[in-house]
């Protein structure tokens, strides 16, 4: 009887380790990938295209595509480092703003001294 209890305990420990490893994977990478897509500032209708998944990460504003590197600051907050000959070195920030029930989000985009709230473009 004692051997059976130790076997169940061993199986539980192994399963806990497996689920812990799966759950603690690089969630930052998949998190920022959720920001990818078309976004729009509702006040001026400017569209911003984010491609933050894969190896080449870009942001497109006013028809100009810029390469960015992404750094996670804290949960749902990221810095976008832009290096462009015309713009120079820039550090922009994006972060997720959840709705009241936590099911959808908008983005807050801080750049060049401005703060914009962006809605996902659908359709």
Instruction: Report if pTM > 0.95.
Output: no
More confident residue, 24 or 11: 11
Q: What is the DSSP letter of 103?
A: S
pLDDT-based confidence at 4, cuts 50/70/90? low
- Residue 102 φ then ψ, to 5°: 75, 20
Domain count, the chain: 1
Give the pLDDT mean for 59-81: 93
pLDDT in the model for residue 122:
83
Give the pLDDT mean for 31-45: 92
Is there a domain that residue 114 lies in?
A: yes
Dihedral, 53, 59, 96, 22 alpha carbons, nearest 10: 10
Is there a domain that residue 6 lies in?
A: no
User: What domain range includes position 114?
Assistant: 27-120
CATH number at residue 116: 2.40.128
How many C-beta neighbours within 10 Å does residue 120 have?
13
Is there a domain that residue 43 lies in?
A: yes
Distance CA 107, CA 76 (A): 10
First to last CA, the chain: 62
Can you spell out the DSSP letters for 42-53?
Answer: TTT--EEEEE-S
pLDDT-based confidence at 30, cuts 50/70/90? very low
Q: Strands 88-98, 77-84: parallel, antiparallel or unpaired by DSSP?
A: antiparallel
Is there a domain that residue 103 lies in?
A: yes
Is there a domain that residue 14 lies in?
A: no
Give the pLDDT mean for 98-103: 88
Is there a domain that residue 36 lies in?
A: yes
Is there a domain that residue 17 lies in?
A: no
- The pLDDT mean for the chain works out to 82
Is there a domain that residue 12 lies in?
A: no
Instruction: Indicate if the pLDDT at residue 32 is higher than 70.
Output: yes
pLDDT in the model for residue 80:
96
């Amino acid at each position: 009887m004692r051997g059976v209890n130790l076997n169940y305990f061993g199986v539980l420990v192994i399963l806990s380790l497996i689920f812990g490893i799966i759950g603690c994977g690089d969630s930052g990478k998949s998190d920022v990938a959720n920001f990818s897509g078309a976004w729009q500032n509702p006040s001026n209708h400017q569209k911003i295209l984010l491609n933050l998944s894969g190896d080449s990460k870009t942001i497109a504003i006013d028809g100009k595509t810029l390469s960015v590197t992404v750094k996670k600051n804290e949960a749902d907050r990221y810095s976008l480092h832009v290096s462009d000959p015309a713009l120079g070195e820039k550090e922009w920030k994006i972060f997720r703003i959840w709705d009241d029930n936590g099911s959808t989000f908008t983005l807050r985009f801080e750049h060049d001294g401005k703060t914009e709230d962006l809605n996902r473009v659908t359709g």
